Chain A
Amino acid sequence: MTPPLDLSRRQFLTAASLAAGTVLLAGCAPGAVAGSRTETLQFWHLLSGGDGVTMSSLLDQVNSAQSAFRIRPTVLAWGTPYYTKLAMAGAGGRAPDVAIMHATRTVGWAPGGLLDTWDLDRLAALGVDASTFPTPIWEKGFVGENMYSVALDAHPFVAMFNTEICDAAGVLDSDGRLQETSSPEEFLDQLRTIGGSAEGHALSYGYLGDGAQMWRLFYGLYAQHGLAIELPVGGKAVIDKDAAVESLTFMQTLLDGEIAAAQADYGGAVAEFATGKSGMLFTGVWELRTMQNAKLPFDATMIPTLYGTPAVYADSHSFVLPHQTNADPVRRDLTYQFVADMLKGSFGWAEAGHIPAFLPVTSSPAYADLIPQAHYAEAAEHVVYDPTAWFTGSGSNFQSEFGAAVQGVLLSGDDPAAAIDRFETRVNTLLRQPNPADPEGTWKP
């Protein structure tokens, strides 16, 4: 016989509170949808503005195509705030199921176990492997032997040009593409010709107070010398001084007030080009939508190869698995499925200007018809990422340090060689510091 329930008022209230609390907590648990098998996957990303809208429509597409999972995105401000929050989530082991990171940032995170590795076999089973990516983009996903990031795209630094102004200046070929130039002198001549037909400057290039903008152009030009800056752990930076000074001097030449404004910030440069006042703009592909919305007659191309080796500065938005202490195997499987679906559906991402990393998308006939995206698609084969070190990458202090060191060269005509020396000194200081994800230096790739 069941004994009668004999509770005091206090006991009853305690029991009731506990029960209510349990119900509430159960409601907070991720994916707790009563009576439904659909898993909700948490996805953090840093894409806002036009990119954010595009990402949102891609997620809607993926969500509506199946019923096994739903993606719940969380959008955070890009740069330091995003990376700080993601690092803390990974350190706590209760991170989102999947997140977007710039490929260049993963190397600083892998040693601390902030990221889980991707299983290549599981990816291959879903049709994602080395053969479906441009080699440099696929390889950038690895830190040592393990893959830590799967690239969604490459977003290189490119040259957009106003087709009406350039046509009037006579610098377009019979296909309406910008005539090829292969040396700094040829390119400067071309720009001066364009300047004759433009209301404003021949070239818009905003750099003031923007270390990333200075770095993007500089490192692309530096890499065109067939070189890469090396940052060995615990050692000293390997920078070819001649190539660095030559690249920086060329940038200084562009900003003579005639070819390009000597004092322009990023927003000012974009506005000058978008209002049809200048003939060319150095910018990232992410500004494509801005120019389309401005109804501008324009095309885009890789920044010309001026020093012999085709190279464009770029980074990749990549999928990572932030570390989860107790990863649910079912949800992990669905995460792989989600990433594969996103890669296969990344044509929509191309419409925003980015070059999809997934080759079946960029080799499709539909992509070839996507203009001007198809005109710079070959950049994916020549991408150059930041030098590998724990402190480099998009949104890092490394690019700000570069800007702080060289801005005086572009703004006030300071000595380029002295600026490169300043930058090298600062980088060497950073190299002496331990990777905060592995302060004891025990991790070996």
Chain B
Amino acid sequence: MTTTAATTRTIVTGSAADFRPRRAGSRNREQLVSWAFLAPFLIAFALFLVWPIIHGIILSFTDQSLTGAGGAFVGFANYAEALTDPVMWQSMGNTVWFTLLSTVPLVVIALLMAALVDRGLPGQWLWRLSFFMPYLLASTVISQIWVWIFNPQIGAANNILKFFGLEPLAWLQNPETNMLSIVIATVWWTVGFNFLLYLAAMQNIPSQQYEAASLDGAGPWRQFWSITLPQLGPATVLILILQILASLKLFDQAYQMLGGVASDTTRSIVQYIYEAGFVSYRFGYSAAISYVFFALIVVIGVAQALVSRRRKEQQ
């Protein structure tokens, strides 16, 4: 009882203090302190995000060069050139193609790996480590590894083909296989992240559901299809969105695996932006292509939001 009375008194005292009228100066000081705490973030946000976005838009309307020359206002000339530039569209197409090719295996393989580790395989820590470890490597390292594997003369990939009596391939140089080679390397490199997300989602599924299903006579496959997969819906949506955004940013591994060589079948839009700005020194044009690409991402984002909203409404 004593405890309750004391608590009540405390609350009452506290409430009275809250309703006590404050001086305007004290409120201002509190606001000032809040802004002071926020300031570092706001300054960084404005300097490194807001200003570059605005500056990029301004640049895209000029003929600014990396060499310091130019800078004259050219209206929509850069955008007009970008929209009629076959290399820009080819690069955009390559990027979308890579996204399609890589997203499916990156989701499916990650799901299978997570399912195996979660339910089937002994020594989980070893599998978790093995599957996730490539993700920790830098793009330069994985590029070097896969350049060796795909080497037409001494690479492991062709040795495997030869073992099966097949003709060796110029994996990275042949236009018919170079994008596939980059997809294979990328899947090996990044699937670990999706695997971890799936594994975390799977481990959140209550074990009682599996026990109940088991009592009802459901085998491992039935449990996977009827319990695991449906419950992974939100995780799958998240992984898909993250994966599409990551794949659209294709650049470093492709650039390094091909030695920086411009290839009609693998040049991504980010590489073309880089080439326009830092190889051809055309900053204005490079900025314009960036905003065309930005528009594509916005379209994909809006489409994804519409699909999600529709799904929710149906549910």
Q: Which residues of A contact B (CB under 8 A)?
A: 79-80, 84, 87-88, 90-92, 109, 111-114, 208-211, 261, 263-265, 268, 391, 396-397, 400-401, 403-404, 407-408, 411-412, 429, 433-434, 436-440
Q: Which residue of A has the minimal Cβ distance to B173? A: A208
Can you list 15 A-B contacts (CB < 8 A)? A80-B279, A87-B67, A90-B67, A112-B67, A208-B173, A209-B173, A263-B153, A265-B152, A268-B153, A412-B174, A436-B65, A437-B65, A439-B63, A439-B69, A440-B63
Q: Which residues in A have their C-beta under 8 angstroms from that of B66?
A: 84, 87-88, 91, 436
* CB-contacts of B55-70 with A (<8 A): 63, 65-70
CB <8 Å contact, B261 and A109:
no
* CB-contacts of B251-310 with A (<8 A): 258-264, 275, 278-282
A87 to B263, CA, bound (A): 25
A170 to B205, CA, bound (A): 77
Distance to closest chain A CB from B179 (angstroms): 14
A437 in contact with B67 given A268-B152, A391-B280, A404-B264 (CB within 8 Å): yes
Distance to closest chain A CB from B254 (angstroms): 12
Q: Which residues in A have their C-beta under 8 angstroms from that of B172?
A: 208-209
CB <8 Å contact, A263 and B170:
yes
Distance to closest chain A CB from B128 (angstroms): 36
A261 to B168, CA, bound (A): 12
A123 to B70, CA, bound (A): 33
The yes or no answer to B72 lying at the interface (CB within 8 A) is: yes
Which size class do B's interface residues fall under?
Answer: 20 to 34
A265 to B153, CA, bound (A): 9
A112 to B170, CA, bound (A): 41
Specify which of B67, B70, B174, B279 is in contact with A440 (CB 8 Å cutoff): B70
A91 to B68, CA, bound (A): 5
The yes or no answer to B151 lying at the interface (CB within 8 A) is: yes
Distance to closest chain A CB from B280 (angstroms): 6
Number of cross-chain contacts by CB at 8 Å:
104
Q: Which residues in A have their C-beta under 8 angstroms from that of B282?
A: 433, 436
Specify which of A211, A404, A437 is in contact with B281 (CB 8 Å cutoff): A437
CB <8 Å contact, B65 and A408:
no
Further 15 A-B residue pairs, CB within 8 A, beyond A91-B67, A437-B69? A88-B66, A91-B66, A208-B152, A209-B258, A263-B152, A264-B152, A265-B153, A268-B154, A411-B170, A429-B87, A434-B63, A436-B67, A436-B280, A439-B65, A440-B72
A439 to B68, CA, bound (A): 10
Q: Which residues in B have their C-beta under 8 angstroms from that of A264?
A: 152-153
Q: Which residues in A have their C-beta under 8 angstroms from that of B174?
A: 411-412
Q: Which residue of B has the minimal Cβ distance to A442? A: B69
A437 to B68, CA, bound (A): 8
The yes or no answer to B175 lying at the interface (CB within 8 A) is: yes
Q: Which residues in B have their C-beta under 8 angstroms from that of A265?
A: 151-153, 173
Q: B232-247 interface mask toward A, CB cutoff 8 Å, 1 = contact, 0 = none?
A: 0000000000000000
CB <8 Å contact, A84 and B278:
yes
Q: Which residues in A have their C-beta under 8 angstroms from that of B263?
A: 209, 404
A113 to B68, CA, bound (A): 9
CB <8 Å contact, B170 and A403:
no
CB <8 Å contact, B63 and A210:
no
Distance to closest chain B CB from A75 (angstroms): 18
A87 to B168, CA, bound (A): 42
Q: Which residues in B have their C-beta under 8 angstroms from that of A109?
A: 67
A109 to B63, CA, bound (A): 16
A209 to B67, CA, bound (A): 29
